Amino acid sequence: MAATRYRRFLKLCEEWPVEETKRQRDLGVFLRQRVAHAFREGENTQIADPAACDQMYESLVRIHTNYYKNKYPRLKDTTFTGVTVEDCKMILATDILKQMEEMKKGTWKKLRERFYAKKSEEDSK
């Protein structure tokens, strides 16, 4: 029975998209890592709690197939702020988040980082 569960999880991993804009924070990548960790021995892996494993799989399938989005359709694809899905995806991209973190830094902190970087480069020479 573990072989069947393993194959179902592999199929789900193949179907799950990977968003390149969310490096190190993508749910598809995290899912693949967890499946690889949970099924280290592949089809021969012994599952301690088959019921919990099946429940996890069913939950992931509902997320992947947009079960609740289809079950409870929304009138508009925006939030109360008026932000669209595309805008949210752009804002949550890793590069944009890094730029926002850089903007949050104060002037003194930026200068300190620049001088410490130069000093450590000079020390290494």
User: Tell me: the pLDDT tens digits for 21-66?
Assistant: 777 778 888 999 999 998 988 888 888 888 999 999 999 999 999 9
Please give the average per-residue pLDDT across 62-86, as a whole number: 84
* Residues 66 and 108 occupy one common structural domain: no
* Residues 1 and 31 occupy one common structural domain: yes
Is it the case that residue 76 has pLDDT exceeding 70? yes
* Residues 22 and 48 occupy one common structural domain: yes
What percent of the chain stands above pLDDT 90?
Answer: 30
The parent domain of residue 96 ranges over: 75-124
Separation of alpha carbons 59 and 53, rounded Å: 10
Token pair listed for 79:
């939030």
* Residues 34 and 88 occupy one common structural domain: no
Is it the case that residue 68 has pLDDT exceeding 90? yes
Specify whether the CB–CB gap between 13 and 31 falls below 8 A. Answer: yes
* Residues 57 and 88 occupy one common structural domain: no
* Residues 83 and 103 occupy one common structural domain: yes
Separation of alpha carbons 53 and 46, rounded Å: 11
Q: Which residue has the higher pLDDT, 95 or 124?
A: 95
* Residues 61 and 102 occupy one common structural domain: no
- How many structural domains is the chain composed of? 2
The reported pTM is 0.63
